[in-house]
Structure 1
Amino acid sequence: MIVLGLATLWTLPAHAQICAALTPGPSARVVSISDGDTVDLDTGLTVRLVGMQAPKLPLGRDGFEAWPLGEEAKTALADLVLGETVRLYYGGETRDRHGRALAHLFIDGSDGPVWVQGEMLANGLARVYSFPDNRSCLAELYAAERIGRAEGLGIWQDTYYALQDATDVTTLLDRVGGYELVEGRVLNADKVGSRVYLNFGRYWKEDFTVVIEEGGLRVFQSADIDPLALEGRLIRVRGWIESHDGPRIDVTHPEQIEILGQ
């Protein structure tokens, strides 16, 4: 298994060396936890743990239903960092549009630094979630996620987070608006205008499709990756399901795609 553009790692120690791609930031004490991937520091800064997505909680949003294990993820993060001094490290864009810090968090352990994102992923309480402007250390994050999934921990016991079959169009349409991991074989890869389409069925107006827009193609090009070479390959893609000529996922950077086999 390989993630496009990344080396493959198969294990992740609980006490991990700090990824060399990261830049050190400030240290501060965690004073509150909003959910499984958001903390508040005693400096007044709110930190979104970049590179992962924990099950979502409503957080005051009307009509928003909590995702399964949202409270469990929040509790696990609190047990790990609440009241602790954490060190922030950055690997890309440092702030989101809400002003939150986009950071990797480390705490001191008896055997060395403990990577908070790695712990949450390895314990099955988050999934890898990346952006084109924040792609550092994803190989290590994927390795941690594979530990939790292989051992059936946390979210991987719940059908809500099950890996989806690219040929099961009915289920994918039921998941529109959700963040999903979808597996299947690319039947056809084609560039039309400024977009690349990875088609997983013969009827592109109905079947599952991955779409890479012009901006995403520039990211692929800068990584020296040709998405058309995915034709015929068995892959896993992750992203938000939309409905447009059947279910689709828009891919903005190569690391959203894992190659599972020939």
Structure 2
Amino acid sequence: MLRTSLVQLAALAALSSVAAAAAACEQLRMEPGGIVVEVTDGDTVVLNNGRVVRMIGTQAPKLPLGRDGFDTWPLAPEAKQALEAMVLNKSVRLGYGGEKIDRYERHLAHVFVDGVDGEVWAQQAMVAQGLARVYSFPDNRACLDLLFAAEGRARLSRLGIWSDPYYSVRQAGEPRKLLDRAGHYELVEGRILLADRNSGRVYLNFGRFWKEDFTAVIESPALRIFEASGVDPVALEGALVRIRGWVDDRDGPRIEVTHPEQIEVLATP
């Protein structure tokens, strides 16, 4: 009971800081949105004008939503309920920071709703409560620093998903366990043993046996984004990092990195 109360207090504190920070992401192109008439899951809403809005920059636990054989992720119902409590039947503004529409005709936007203490940034609020994590794309990278900060606080406080082993940060030095997570979106921590540029791509190797150990791969289109951002991934050799992305199995577990924000530098050599 005490733990539940502490979690609730931490969530309330996080939400109050969210309201104060709602205006901090100033590079967004703001537009009127509409009234939220449906919440599909913890990161997707439907407006009264028919727009389906994918809350860009975050990934909430997923519901099956009619997909055969898809298992409900832990805390997915709770994430949907939290977003409903925040935005359902309320007027919202939309902020665009990159590609505006995806291939499913969903609007890719940051969602802002009036709250008791001012306008609340829905993405940041969900992340701050531990009911979503940061999830970015190469063509949509606005405001991620604020979302990373909110995620870090929630993870340290073990709020929401961060108290469930399903969402644990994985260790790069345990490749066999990572292979068990192939097909999953994961956060992986470890020290880059070797950063090597070869055949137009960069390999970040976390072990001595590159066909067995965990590797992050940066292809040439992504390298152009790194260069434009002033980031040289080869210079990360020896750094302790956290990498997020989808795990696959190609000569051992690996994650393809498509933009710099997928790599958080925790300590330099």
- Report if TM-score (shorter chain) is over 0.5: yes
Work out the CA distance in 1 between the residues paired with 2:22 and 2:76: 28
- Secondary structure at the aligned position of 2:62 is classed as coil
1:232 paired residue among 232, 238, 257: 238
1:85 paired residue among 84, 88, 91: 91
How far did residue 108 of structure 1 move?
1.3
Preserved CA contact (<8 Å) 1:216 1:251? yes
Preserved CA contact (<8 Å) 2:113 2:119? yes
Which 10-residue stretch deviates more, 102-111 or 60-69?
Answer: 102-111
Work out the CA distance in 2 between the residues paired with 1:213 and 1:136: 22
Structure with the higher helix share, 1 or 2: 2
Count of aligned pairs: 252
Aligned residues: percent identity? 59
Preserved CA contact (<8 Å) 1:181 1:238? yes
**Corresponding residue of 2:17:** 13
- The question of 1:160 aligning with 2:140 is answered no
**Corresponding residue of 1:116:** 122
Work out the CA distance in 2 between the residues paired with 1:83 and 1:12: 21
**Corresponding residue of 1:244:** 250
| TM-score under structure 2 length normalisation | 0.92
5+ residue gaps, structure 1: 1-10
Kindly provide the amino acid, as one letter, of the partner of residue 154 in structure 1: G
- The question of 1:26 aligning with 2:32 is answered yes
How far did residue 12 of structure 1 move?
8.6
Preserved CA contact (<8 Å) 1:55 1:125? yes
Report which structure shows greater RCO (CA 8 Å, sep ≥6): 1
Work out the CA distance in 2 between the residues paired with 1:193 and 1:222: 20
- Secondary structure at the aligned position of 1:48 is classed as strand
- Secondary structure at the aligned position of 2:241 is classed as strand
Preserved CA contact (<8 Å) 1:12 1:143? no
Preserved CA contact (<8 Å) 2:33 2:47? no
Work out the CA distance in 2 between the residues paired with 1:32 and 1:241: 32
- The question of 1:58 aligning with 2:68 is answered no
Work out the CA distance in 1 between the residues paired with 2:18 and 2:199: 46
| TM-score under structure 1 length normalisation | 0.94
The structure 1 segments of at least 4 consecutive aligned residues displaced by more than 4 Å after TM superposition are none
5+ residue gaps, structure 2: 1-14
Which 10-residue stretch deviates more, 127-136 or 20-29?
Answer: 20-29
Q: What per-residue deviation string (whole Å, max 9, x for no partner) do you get for residues 64-115 of structure 1?
A: 1111111110000001001111101100001110000000001112332111
How far did residue 14 of structure 1 move?
2.1
